[in-house]
Structure 1
Amino acid sequence: MPIVAIAKLFAKPGQRDDIIERLKPEAEYVKNEELTTSAYYFFKPEEEENSLLGLEIYESMENIETVHMQSAPFKTMVDSATPVSEKPFELEFFEPADVGFLTRPGFSTLQAPDVFLLQVYFVVKPGTREKVLSYMNEIAKDVWEKEDGCFSYYYAKSIDNPDKFMIFERYVDRPALEVTHRTGAKFLEMFKRLDDEDLVVSKFIYNCYESGVGFLARD
């Protein structure tokens, strides 16, 4: 089963850029040599200036443990990042939800200062996750067809919590999210359903920018 791992790295104050530099050689190795890893992409949250988030997609949990984490470049990266890290990295595991798209063709390695990202966590009422995802699927299809400025709109389901899921969104710039996406008729319709049916228990959003590290596909 494919595994979506969300990594969180914790830099010492003012050291996030140092961790990013230490990640670059390892990310290149993953892209060129670790062909069972299909995405390895890092981004910077606005809310936490000393943390770094990563979206990683692996062939299986065994692939994470016996291929990725046992590679020499990964171990070198961890060792080199330790002196500038506040504490060890954390991983949270998901599985693909078969809703949305990870990237549009040709935009899997785009790294630009204006590209704006969201990482969203939803917790929904017990037993309603598939219903919520069906609503989200309607939005995702509409985004694919109508919002060329949205490069990624990808859903994953928590492995440990059946009521939790994650959304990864990536836009050409912030207005593509705030002016175009959030005013779309399908977006407004589906989120009105969520509100009217009182399906969402909690939501947390990271606003992010690209870090210059990683890939979301091998174009």
Structure 2
Amino acid sequence: MPIIAIAKLFAKPGERDAVIQSLKPEAEYVESEELTTSAYYFFKPEEEKDTLLGLEIYESMENLETVHMQSAPFKTFAAAATAVSEKPFELEFFEPSVGFLTRPKFSTLQGPNIFDLQVYFEVKPGTREKVLGYMNEVAVDVLEKEDGCYSYQYATSIDNPDKFMIFERYVDRDAWAVTHRAGAKFIEMFKRLEDEDLVVKKTIYECYESGVGFLARD
């Protein structure tokens, strides 16, 4: 079963770029040699200046533990990052649910203006399937109508079935703030969530590209 590992790295104050530099050789190795790793992608939260977020997709948990984390490049990165990190990195695990990770011609495109979101939210117990249905409607609408949205992937927490993560990626901030949020299907879906009082907790990270990693193998 494929798993999405969300990595959160904590740099010492002012050292986020040093952590990014230490990641580059390992990310290149993962792309060229770890063919069972289908995505390994890092970005920078706008508000948390000393944090780095990663979206990693593995063939299985065993692949993560016995292939990726046992590789020499990973161990080299972990040793190098220790010197510029405030504390050890954290991992949270999800299963892909609905939506799309890439559009084919944009799978490897990165740039300083591309705008990323990681959205985490929890719903009331027993409402997961209803919410997934709403989310799928939005994902289909985005795929068909929003060419400026490169990724719109929903995932469900492995440890908490009532927790979701959305990975969103846009050509720029306006494609999210102006086009996406003004979409009729998006507005309709959030009205349903509010009217039915389904969401109990939400956290949003607004991010930009780090220049490290890949989201698909072309």
Sort the TM-score into its range (normalised by shorter chain).
over 0.9
1:204 aligns with 2:203: yes
Q: 1:213 is matched by which residue type in structure 2?
A: V
- After TM superposition, where is structure 1 displaced by more than 3 Å over at least 4 residues in a row? none
Q: 2:196 is matched by which residue type in structure 1?
A: E
Measure, in 2, the Cα distance between the counterparts of 1:60 and 1:5: 10
CA drift of 1:86 comes to 0.4
Measure, in 2, the Cα distance between the counterparts of 1:162 and 1:190: 20
1:128 aligns with 2:127: yes
Look up the match of 1:165: 164
1:29 aligns with 2:36: no
Measure, in 2, the Cα distance between the counterparts of 1:88 and 1:193: 39
1:177 aligns with 2:176: yes
Look up the match of 1:150: 149
SS at match of 1:35: coil
Q: How does 1:71-90 map to 2 (within 5 A)?
A: 71-90=71-90
Measure, in 1, the Cα distance between the counterparts of 2:3 and 2:99: 16
TM-score, reference length from structure 2: 0.99
Measure, in 1, the Cα distance between the counterparts of 2:117 and 2:46: 10
Look up the match of 1:68: 68
Q: 1:209 is matched by which residue type in structure 2?
A: Y
CA drift of 1:75 comes to 0.3
SS at match of 1:70: coil
CA drift of 1:46 comes to 1.0
- Structure 1: runs of 5 or more not aligned: none
Q: 1:180 is matched by which residue type in structure 2?
A: T
TM-score, reference length from structure 1: 0.98
CA drift of 1:130 comes to 1.4
Measure, in 2, the Cα distance between the counterparts of 1:111 and 1:18: 19
Look up the match of 2:2: 2
Measure, in 1, the Cα distance between the counterparts of 2:213 and 2:108: 7
Q: Give the superposed CA RMSD.
A: 0.6
Q: 1:206 is matched by which residue type in structure 2?
A: Y
Q: 1:179 is matched by which residue type in structure 2?
A: V
Q: 2:142 is matched by which residue type in structure 1?
A: V
- Structure 2: runs of 5 or more not aligned: none
Measure, in 1, the Cα distance between the counterparts of 2:189 and 2:84: 43
Look up the match of 2:104: 105
Measure, in 2, the Cα distance between the counterparts of 1:9 and 1:178: 27
**Percent sequence identity over aligned pairs:** 82
CA drift of 1:129 comes to 1.2
1:13 aligns with 2:13: yes
Count of residues in correspondence between the two structures: 218
Measure, in 2, the Cα distance between the counterparts of 1:71 and 1:101: 29
Measure, in 1, the Cα distance between the counterparts of 2:25 and 2:70: 16
